[in-house]
Amino acid sequence: MITDAIDHIGIAVENLDNSIDLYTNKLGFRVVHRETLPDRGIKVVFLAGSSGETTIELMEPINHDDETNTVVKFLKNRGPGLHHLAIKVSDIKQSLSELNILGIQLVDKTPRVGARGHLVAFIHPKSTIGVLIELVQVKDS
């Protein structure tokens, strides 16, 4: 698997606006992208520091009572905090195939369109020392 770099760090939050305030007004990040992903049941905001190389993704459930939503489950079981680590890959389909051959447990066997229009797929934390890893193939790459 060709790993290009860390794309972003995903953080589950209870309140997106309060979290944006913390990261922008107190920690110096800036909002670089905001969208709602109805199919995933979440609102997301991407923040960047001065270099803009790696971003932070803040995720809030659209419906906090939806017990089937993975972010709702995460918040209920663990509270707000680090949710996943996202890694850029140049060819997500090839990466998934290689990981599958190596016996890595995948959440997604095929990529899907995620935030910012990028192709994404997740690796199950059981195969990655308890860390949910998202593979990201940047749109137009």
| Complete domains list, the chain, with CATH | 3-137 (3.10.180.10)
Q: What b/e sequence results for 88-110 when a residue is b if at least 16 CB atoms lie within 10 Å of its CB, and e otherwise?
A: bbeebeebbeebeeeebeeebee
Rounded mean pLDDT, 8-29: 97
Are 44 and 115 a contacting pair, CB within 8 Å?
yes
Span 84-131, pLDDT tens digits: 999 999 999 999 999 999 999 999 999 999 999 999 999 999 999 999
At 98, list the tokens.
């290689």
Residue 19 has pLDDT above 70, yes or no: yes
CB neighbourhood size of 70 (10 A):
18
Residue 52 has pLDDT above 90, yes or no: no
Cα radius of gyration rounded to whole Å, the chain: 15
- Side-chain-side CA neighbours of residue 139 (13 Å): 7
Q: How confident is the model at residue 51 (pLDDT cuts 50, 70, 90)?
A: confident
So what's the pLDDT on residue 1? 64
At 5, list the tokens.
């770099």
How far, in Å, CA of 103 to CA of 88, rounded?
20
pTM (global) more than 0.75: yes
Q: How confident is the model at residue 6 (pLDDT cuts 50, 70, 90)?
A: very high
Lowest mean pLDDT among 42-46, 52-56, 94-98, 116-120: 52-56
So what's the pLDDT on residue 4? 74
Residue-by-residue DSSP string for 29-57: -EEEEEEEETTTTEEEEEEE-SS-SSEEE
How far, in Å, CA of 85 to CA of 73, rounded?
18
H or E stretch at 73: helix 70-78
